[in-house]
Amino acid sequence: MRNTKLYHLTLLPLALIGLFLIFGYNKLSQDNPKPVTLVEFNKLVNADKNVLVYFHASWCAVCRKMKPIIDTIDISNKTIKVIKIDTDVDKEIANQFEINDLPVLILFRNGRINWTYVGLIDKNILKQKLPF
């Protein structure tokens, strides 16, 4: 009986570590570029006519659902520049816009905020809001 308890006491931490590695480990990827300064951000937003800013975080489950939609918009729409802001990396920008919930989409037109959305949005509804 005592060996069974010891077995379970060693198995549980190993199982938890395994789950962490599978589901909670944040791999570095090309989606996590170097931090963007507020000055760089303002230049990017003002440089193009239409800019969609996508605030997200690697730990956000809704953001992970939203990512393929944003990637599709980024690739398919040549009239909009997409800027992805990781709120854990680009804290200065997230603080500037008082980002408390994720994901957040902000559409800038000619350097001014035109539209804001918080949460998961359907791809078709998003496309209706964006200039194509």
Task: Please give the pLDDT value at position 118.
Answer: 97
For residue 74 the two structure tokens come to 């980024």
Sheet holding 104-109, edge to edge: 81-86, 50-56, 104-109, 112-118
Record: fold of 38-129: Glutaredoxin (3.40.30)
Question: Average pLDDT, stretch 13-37?
Answer: 56
Asked if residue 65 lies in contact with residue 126, where contact means CB atoms within 8 angstroms, the answer is no
Asked if residue 53 lies in contact with residue 94, where contact means CB atoms within 8 angstroms, the answer is no
Catalytic choice (36, 57, 63, 99): 63
Task: Please give the pLDDT value at position 30.
Answer: 45
Which range is least confidently modeled, 25-29, 44-48, 108-112, 127-131?
25-29
Is the link from the previous residue into 131 a cis peptide, with omega within 30 of 0? no
77 is catalytic: no
What percent of the chain lies above the pLDDT cut of 90? 61
Task: Please give the pLDDT value at position 42.
Answer: 94
d(CA 116, CA 123): 15
63 is catalytic: yes
Domain boundaries, the chain: 38-129
pLDDT exceeds cutoff 80 at 76: yes
For residue 103 the two structure tokens come to 């994901």
81-123 pLDDT, tens digit per residue, is 999 999 999 999 999 999 999 999 999 999 999 999 999 999 9
Catalytic choice (51, 52, 60, 93): 60
Other beta carbons within 10 angstroms of residue 50's beta carbon come to 17
Task: Please give the pLDDT value at position 29.
Answer: 39
Which range is least confidently modeled, 5-14, 18-27, 33-42, 82-91?
18-27
72 Cβ contact list (under 8 Å, min separation 6):
123
